[in-house]
Amino acid sequence: MNVEQFSPPLVAILRGLSPQDAAAAGAALFGAGFRLLEVPLNRPGALESIAILAGMASAGAIVGGGTMLSVADVEAVHAAGGRLMVAPNANPAVIARGAELGMLCAPGVATPTEGFAALAAGAHALKIFPAEMVGVAGLKAMKTVLPAGTPLWPVGGVTPGSLGTWLAAGATGFGIGGNLYTPGIDNDELARRAVEYIDAFHAAVA
C-alpha cells in the first residue's frame, strides 16, 4: 500500500470511542480533513466502531485498529473493514499478516533494530513510540540509518505547536491521541482541534 496516497499523514487515535459516538466523531474528523482513523482495540466496542467508520470512509481515507498485538487482531480488524494496522510494538508475524491482507502497516518502534525488523516484515510506516522517550534527537539519529524515504510517524504528546520541530528532524507524519480525542468530547470541539492540527501541518511543511 502506498503511504503517500493518504494526505495529510495524520492518524487520529480514537481511544475509547464508543459505537454510538463513532458516526459523529467520524463526520467531524473526515470533514476536517483527516484521512487516517485508528480505534485502539484495548477498549470495548472497538471493532464495531471500526466497522461504522469504515463504512463512512471516502476514497483516499482508511480506518483501522490500534494496539493490534496478534494475528487474530489483524484478521478481526480486516473483517470489520479496517485497512490500517497500528501497534505499539513490532511483531513480525502481525506485520506480515497485515501486509498480506493489503493493510497499511504502521507498527511501533523505538530503536533502529526494531525499525529494520519491522520494515523487513512488511511495514509501510514506522510509528515512533513513545515519541516523548525517543525525542527529536533520537528520531533524527534513526533517520540517518534507516532506508531513505522511510515514513516516520511520532506518536505520543504531539501538539500542533510541535509539528514543525518534529518535521525538521525527519518526521513525515504523526499519530495524535489524547490531545485530539477523548471520550465524550463535544463534536464541535473535536472538529476545531482537528482543523488546528491540519492547518499546523500544512503550515509547517509549506
The set of catalytic residues is 38, 127
DSSP bridge partners of 62:
36
Which amino acid is located at 34 in the chain?
F
Phi, psi of 179 (to 5 degrees): -75, -15
Cell readout for 21 is 459516538
